[in-house]
Chain A
Amino acid sequence: MAISSRQKAGWSALNVLVILWALFPVWWIVALSFKAPADIGTDGGSPWPTDWTLQNYAAIFTTTDFIRALVNSIGIAAIATAIAVVLATMAAYAITRLRFPGKRALIGLSLLIAMFPQISLVSPLFDIERGIGIFDTWIGLIVPYTTFSLPLAIYILSAFFREIPWELEKAAKMDGATPFQAFRRVIAPLAAPAIVTTAILVFIFCWNDFLFAISLTSTPRARTAPAAIAFFTGSSQFEQPIGSIAAAAVVITIPIVIFVLFFQRRIISGLTSGAVKG
């Protein structure tokens, strides 16, 4: 089909519009992070810093609190992701490959939890965690994060696992493989991309949480980065910490942008798999 240059221009304009709409608010916070604190509030909200400076970044990395929060965020999200992916892989394998009663109930339960309002758990978890002494610790956050990412992980992994050509297991057996060899040399390499994708999505989910992070912590001990940013105070009482907040926001956005750029195809198929077949 011949594409007229007018059509092409029309689509280009539309695409540019969509990209601007998606990225400009992100650019705005980046621009803010490079402004000198003195310029913020006096430059009329220019989306381009008049004087580029790393002052804000220097500020957040000189306090131990933000570094501590970053370490917490990475550690907690990574551990929760690892646990969730292992448990979900087992459950998803059972769902796609085995026959057993209660399968539907399991799927129903995980859907229910995916839709669960987290606030309903905040009061009881707050009390329970204080009771058993895991309030304001890594474990205190890892537990709810694992729970709430399990449905997502099970859902995505089941959808991927159904696509794996499992008859290759048979082919490997015929080629002389033991069951373990068939798993390690054929099934595992095929399942690995699914597991990596799921891990990324679960990590993003944990990284993103705010409600549990501010409810189940009370000190910088286990506070994650998003919660820490919300509690930023300026270096002096009269100075708004906007620049620091912007810089910290950019720092915690970077890993997400990297994941998105490198794995976008997989992330999209992970997000949409299963959902459309419903």
Chain B
Amino acid sequence: MSPGPEVRDVTRDAASAGAPPSSPDVTEGSTDPLQRRRSDAARAERRLGWALCAPAVIVMLAVTAYPIGYAVYLSLRRSDLRFPDAARFIGLDNYVTVLTSAYWWDALAVTALITIASVAIELVLGMTLALVMHRTIWGRGTVRTAILVPYGLVTVVAAFSWEYAWTPDIGYLAALLPAGSAPLTETWQAIGLIILAEVWKTTPFMALLLLAGLALVPEELLQAAKIDGASAWKRFTKVTLPLMMPAVLVALLFRTLDAFRVFDSIYIMTGGSQGTGSVSILGYNNLFTALNLGVGSAISVLVFICAAIIAFSFIKLFGTAAPGSALDGGN
């Protein structure tokens, strides 16, 4: 039998039993004008979709893709704001300057350290916080409101709070330290305090994402595991964690890339002195202190490449569970 016209939601051959045997093949004959009308409707929908998205896409591309392209162009030129007339094409010289400079590698190392340490601590702390909020028998709302405050706080304000807390004679935390210590002037201690400030500021966001992930784990599943004799730790590692993995990965991706951009806290707390500068600080200083647009742009491009590598490796890790696949729910 020739395959009859496909009917919605019915996978089997539509014409097999229901249609009278003499039923004409409906795909032939009178369909031409219909087909045209149909594709008109689809085309109209497509056009409307594009029209609605166009403004957002144009803005996003104009303000990111174009400048990044321009940054690549600038990075291939000698472009020193102090000597505007000396601008010319110099190939990869700016990249050589950056990549052979100890400043770049130090800044990259500091950035990597801050990123890895703060995200790792945040994950553990955020998970603990999420479990506390998930399991607590009272006051969940109060705790949630309280931890939203650090999230909403302006990073600069948070950084000032921490800076003054650790400043000798001024801060309550510095008062706890042995006399004469000034932690923000020592490289390693300062980096540690920057990490602490970042962790304090962003753990709530992590905790809220993880809390939402926890809410997706069905209670019956945990009860079933309990009946099967799983200990609390086993229930967490074998049931809860695997089920909330998508939420964990999304939270990690966002936080890692966010931590990699760290700028505000360092700028306020140490200004990047004593070797505490991140790549963002380095790029900023090159532009506004050294006034070298070419080298600054080379740093911009390199930072962009680093971020792309991080994002790419995460997306490799995600596979199909990439964030945003959920947003494709329109069909």
Contacts and interface: CB of A to CB of B under 8 A. Distances in A.
B236 interface: no
B314 to A, nearest CB: 9
B320 to A, nearest CB: 10
Contact of B284 (A122, A257, A267, A276): A122
B71 A124 contact: yes
A22 to B, nearest CB: 5
Given A22-B147, A45-B174, A278 B161 contact: no
B316 interface: no
A260 B284 contact: no
B116 interface: no
Interface stretch (B8-16, B18-26, B54-62, B221-229): B54-62
B34 interface: no
A260 B145 contact: yes
A255 B270 CA distance: 27
B99 interface: no
B209 interface: yes
A124 B261 contact: no
Contact of A8 (B42, B56, B70, B138): B138
Contacts of B299: 119, 123
Residue among B147, B157, B267 with the highest chain A CB neighbour number at 10 A: B157
Contacts, number: 338
Contact of A123 (B71, B142, B327): B71
B291 to A, nearest CB: 11
Given A123-B287, A146-B59, A115 B311 contact: yes
Interface string B259-275: 01101100110000000
A277 B247 CA distance: 7
Majority DSSP secondary structure for residues of A touching B:
helix
Nearest to A269: B212
Interface in A171-194: none
A98 B205 CA distance: 31
Nearest to A94: B52
Interface string A96-136: 11111111101111111111111111111111100000000
A275 B250 contact: yes
A109 B197 CA distance: 31
Contacts of B218: none
A95 B137 contact: no
Given A119-B261, A253-B153, A278 B283 contact: no
B109 interface: no
Nearest to A121: B67
A27 B115 CA distance: 27
A63 to B, nearest CB: 18
Interface residues of B, number: 110
A159 to B, nearest CB: 7
Contacts of A210: 154-156, 263-264, 267
B45 to A, nearest CB: 5
A15 B132 contact: yes
A29 to B, nearest CB: 4
B297 A123 contact: yes
Given A91-B56, A268-B144, A29 B170 contact: no
Given A210-B156, A278-B325, A117 B260 contact: yes
A252 to B, nearest CB: 6
B160 interface: yes
Given A12-B138, A122-B284, A208-B155, A264 B297 contact: no
Contacts of B205: 271
Residue among B53, B74, B284 with the highest chain A CB neighbour number at 10 A: B53
Nearest to A129: B67
A272 interface: yes
B71 A120 contact: yes
A210 B144 CA distance: 26
B247 A276 contact: yes
B52 A276 contact: no
A100 B300 contact: no
Nearest to A248: B157
Contacts of B244: 276
A158 interface: yes
Interface in A13-27: 14-15, 18-19, 21-23, 25-26
B178 interface: no
A224 to B, nearest CB: 10
A90 interface: yes
Contact of B146 (A22, A95, A146): A22
Interface in A222-270: 226, 229-230, 242, 245-246, 249, 252-253, 256-257, 259-261, 264, 267-268
A170 B170 CA distance: 64
Interface string B229-269: 00000000000000010110111011001001101100110
Contacts of B145: 260-261, 264
B261 A117 contact: yes
6 contacts: A103-B330, A109-B57, A122-B296, A208-B154, A253-B154, A256-B153
Interface of A: 3, 7-8, 11-12, 14-15, 18-19, 21-23, 25-26, 28-29, 32, 40-42, 44-47, 87-88, 90-91, 93-104, 106-128, 143-144, 146-147, 150-151, 154-155, 158-159, 162, 204, 207-208, 210-211, 214-215, 226, 229-230, 242, 245-246, 249, 252-253, 256-257, 259-261, 264, 267-268, 271-278
Query: Closest 3 A-B residue pairs measured CB to CB?
Result: A100-B49, A272-B212, A124-B67
Given A28-B172, A210-B156, 8 more contacts: A115-B253, A115-B311, A117-B261, A118-B263, A146-B59, A257-B149, A274-B327, A278-B249
